[in-house]
Amino acid sequence: MHSMTFNKYILCVLYCQLLILFNGCLPKDHRQFLENDTLTINQIATDRSNHLNEFQPQAIESNVPEFPVKGQLDLSVEQAALFVLKYNSNVHIRQMNPIITGTFEKIERGIFTPEWFAELKYSENKYSEISENYDPSMVDQQTFDAAAGIQQALPTGTDIAASVEQNKSISNQAPKEQTTRLGLSITQSLLRGFGPAVNLVSVHQAKLDIAASHFELRGYLESLLADTEIAYWDFVLAVEKITIFEHSLEVARQQLNEIKQRILVGMLPKIESAAAQVEVARREQALIDARSNLKSNQLKLMRLIAPSKEASFDIQIKPVSNPRTEAKPISDLTDRLSLAYQSRSDLNEARLRLKHHRLETIKTRNGLLPKLDVFVALGKTGYGETFSESYRSLDHDTYDFTVGFRVNHFLTNQTAQAKNIAAQTSHQQALKAVDNLRQLVEFDVRLAANEVERARLQIAASHTTRLLQEKTLKAEKERFDVGSSTALLVAQAQRDSLETYVAEVEAIVGYRKSLVNLFLSEGSLLERRGIDFKSLILK
Enumerate the domain spans of the chain: 1-30+158-192+374-408, 50-106+203-357+422-536
C-alpha 365/C-alpha 295 separation (Å) is: 61
Q: Pairing state of beta strands 115-130 and 174-189? A: unpaired
pLDDT tens for the chain, 539 residues long, are 444 444 544 544 444 544 444 444 444 443 333 334 334 444 444 444 443 444 443 334 446 677 777 788 889 999 899 889 888 888 888 888 888 888 888 898 889 999 999 999 989 888 776 666 666 777 788 888 999 999 999 999 999 999 999 888 887 766 777 888 899 999 999 999 999 999 999 999 999 999 999 999 999 999 999 999 999 999 999 999 999 999 888 888 888 888 888 888 888 888 888 888 888 998 899 999 999 999 999 999 998 988 876 666 778 889 999 998 888 898 889 999 999 999 999 999 999 999 999 999 998 998 888 999 999 999 888 877 777 777 777 777 788 899 999 999 888 888 888 989 999 999 999 999 999 999 999 999 999 999 999 999 999 999 999 999 889 988 988 888 877 878 788 888 888 888 899 999 999 999 999 999 999 999 999 998 888 888 888 77
Q: Residue 143 CA to chain centroid, in angstroms?
A: 59
Cβ proximity of 163 and 193 under 8 Å: no
72 forms beta bridges with 316
At 66 the three-state DSSP class reads coil
Residues 460-514: tens digit of each pLDDT: 999 999 999 889 988 988 888 877 878 788 888 888 888 899 999 999 999 999 9
Cβ proximity of 119 and 145 under 8 Å: yes
At 508 the three-state DSSP class reads helix
The pLDDT, as a whole number, for residue 237 is 95
Q: Residue 504 CA to chain centroid, in angstroms?
A: 39
Q: Which helix (H) or strand (E) holds 120?
A: strand 115-130
C-alpha 204/C-alpha 199 separation (Å) is: 10
C-alpha 470/C-alpha 4 separation (Å) is: 111
What is the model's pTM?
0.78
Q: Residue 38 CA to chain centroid, in angstroms?
A: 15
3-state secondary structure 319-386: ECCCCCCCCCCCCCHHHHHHHHHHHCHHHHHHHHHHHHHHHHHHHHHHHCCCEEEEEEEEEEEEEECC
Please give the angle made by the CA atoms of 165, 183 and 17, to the nearest 5 degrees.
Answer: 145
The pLDDT, as a whole number, for residue 376 is 92
Cβ proximity of 494 and 252 under 8 Å: yes
C-alpha 385/C-alpha 116 separation (Å) is: 29
CATH topology of domain 50-106+203-357+422-536: Outer membrane efflux proteins (OEP) (1.20.1600)
At position 383, the amino acid (one-letter code) is Y
| Phi, psi dihedrals of residue 473, rounded to the nearest 5° | -65, -40
| Phi, psi dihedrals of residue 263, rounded to the nearest 5° | -65, -40
Cβ proximity of 357 and 423 under 8 Å: yes
CA-based end-to-end distance of the chain: 61
DSSP-based helix, strand, coil % in the chain, nearest 5: 60, 20, 20
Task: Name the DSSP letter for residue 155.
Answer: T
Residues 366-380: tens digit of each pLDDT: 888 899 999 999 988
At position 508, the amino acid (one-letter code) is I
Is it true that domain 1-30+158-192+374-408 has CATH number 2.20.200?
Answer: yes
